[in-house]
A and B are shown apart, each in its own frame.
Chain A
Amino acid sequence: MTSMTTSKTPLYKQHVALGARITPFAGWDMPLYYSSIIEEHEAVRNKAGIFDISHMGTISLSGDDALALLEKVTCNDVSTMKLGQVRYNAILNDDGGLIDDITIYRKEEKNFTLIVNASNRERVLTRLQIFATDSVKIEDLSPSLVLLALQGPMAEKILARLIGNDIREIRYYYFKLIQYQNELITISRTGYTGEDGFEIYAPISSGTSIWENLLELGKTDGLIPSGLGARDILRLEALYPLYGHELSEEWTPVESGIGWIAKEKSIHYPGYQRIIDQKKNGSKHLVTGIIMDENGIPRESCKIFDASGEREIGRVLSGAYSPTLKKGIATAFLPIEFTKNGTLIQIELRSKKFRAHVHSGSFVQGSAKREKK
């Protein structure tokens, strides 16, 4: 029998007080929405929204062998990371399949922090332990932290109002350590929505205070609390993958459409040959975006057919209504011959087939301040 108990983040009472509809997610009671999913989506795209992401895992790795450990278990370069930099990466299993997608923060030469998915925290710790030597210290910092995501075109203005203009200097995928109420907090210019914004990591007391103060100070600029319902639509519009949907232990990063994070490295990570072959020659299947051509919302596990509607070629991984496109959008794991931009397909919704087409790249371009390298 599995345990039916769920956990609550330190901000649970605040969500209830704000009238949130609570939903279970990865063993946590999380706000699905406060006012409405579409209203919160609209706020993030046009003004700002703030998310409680304290359910995510925070793991610290330090010591002489910390870098070697990370180079061995992940597929992106770690040694080239500057201090103060953040990098998207993945922890792989023995076959090159994905155990979790993560972000790594390089605090010092030999001091890293990993942000991992709530659902995968235990599996990540187990995997790290397999490869850890005595010269690595692994610490799970999760229970002592509040994690927030402030996202939207107004995010910088609102955050500067609370913290000060220092935060304006933080570049995309970099972070700063900042003093707030006598505690050290981490602020990075990162996010999961495609909009400009920040993720904030703080001890519980200052983190709670930051949540409340931002909501107050951001009111005049349209900041509202935002839940997982809006978050899922935003990340799908940006074509960001989600573990358990576009990412799994069965598929390599290449097959999941994030092959750009798998690098040729002198330290060969597990599944190295399989992945490098796929990068050079292409994989047989690929996670692909889809836009509906008729009114209907694709939902997870709906069947997908070729243009004739006769041959089943896959199933929907993630599906949602895009308020930006005013159409249904989805992702699917399709045979490579169906993944060219514009390929016509059909999706079965409620026993009827609807027309759709393959779309390459993100569905929506947000305000995230990506710089050219």
Chain B
Amino acid sequence: MTNIPKELLYTENHEWLKLEGDVAWIGLTDYAQSSLGDMVFLDIKEIGTELKSGEALGTVESVKAAEDIYAPVSGKIVEIHSEIRDEPAKINQDPYSSWIVKLGNLNKKELDSLLDAGRYKEYLSSLEE
């Protein structure tokens, strides 16, 4: 059973978002780490980079394939999780502790377009068909 914490928000590209005040913590979901497989390289854009919602903030490379990671909402990269960037395998081990970037200067209205846990779970079921 794929893990989908109730308190987080989700995208159809399998990113998760946690809002802490005015800062959004961004990571990859359990479903993402499971389908990508063993992650070995993580490349992230620089601190200060302004991103529009849906724009790539970096790329993760697994044994199987490389995938872009997208900003769930518009914002600016204010912090990078360097421990995870140096050891992306931690995303496989614990996807919800392994945040990748923190975004500030958020467009909070865009949070409404994200999926809650229930709707993300339904979305995953639709992918299985």
Contacts and interface: CB of A to CB of B under 8 A. Distances in A.
B92 to A, nearest CB: 7
B115 interface: no
Nearest to A33: B37
A48 interface: no
A36 B35 CA distance: 11
Contacts of A314: none
Interface in A295-314: 295-297
B55 interface: no
Nearest to A230: B63
A38 B66 contact: no
A296 B41 CA distance: 7
A174 to B, nearest CB: 34
Contacts of B38: 36-39
B40 interface: yes
Contact of A321 (B40, B43, B92): B40
Given A37-B63, A320-B63, A321-B63, A297 B41 contact: yes
Contacts of A349: 66
Interface residues of A, number: 16
Interface of A is mostly: mixed
B116 interface: no
Question: Interface centre among A229, A233, A321, A350, by most B CB within 10 Å?
Answer: A321
A323 B89 CA distance: 12
A314 B41 CA distance: 25
B15 interface: no
A296 B61 contact: yes
Contacts of B61: 295-297, 321
Interface string B12-49: 00000000000000000000000001101101000000
B58 to A, nearest CB: 12
A191 B65 CA distance: 27
Contact of B66 (A229, A320, A326, A350): A350
B66 A297 contact: yes
Contacts of A320: 63
A38 B43 contact: no
A38 B41 contact: no
Contact of B89 (A33, A38, A296, A297): A38
Question: Interface centre among B41, B43, B89, by most A CB within 10 Å?
Answer: B41
Contacts of B89: 38
Contact of A37 (B37, B41, B43, B66): B37
Interface in A124-153: none
Contacts of A326: 40
Contacts of B40: 38, 297, 321, 323, 326
A229 B66 CA distance: 16
Contacts of A38: 38, 40, 63, 89
Contacts of B59: 350
A38 B64 CA distance: 11
B37 A36 contact: yes
A30 to B, nearest CB: 15
- CB-CB nearest 5 A-B residue pairs: A38-B38, A295-B41, A321-B40, A37-B63, A36-B38
Interface of A: 33, 36-39, 229, 233, 295-297, 320-321, 323, 326, 349-350
Interface of B: 37-38, 40-41, 43, 59, 61, 63-64, 66, 89, 92
Given A229-B64, A295-B41, A296-B61, 13 more contacts: A33-B37, A36-B37, A37-B37, A37-B38, A37-B63, A38-B38, A38-B63, A39-B38, A233-B63, A297-B40, A321-B41, A349-B66, A350-B66
25 contacts: A36-B37, A36-B38, A36-B92, A37-B37, A37-B63, A38-B38, A38-B40, A38-B63, A38-B89, A39-B38, A229-B64, A233-B63, A295-B41, A295-B43, A296-B41, A296-B61, A297-B66, A321-B41, A321-B61, A321-B63, A323-B40, A326-B40, A349-B66, A350-B59, A350-B66
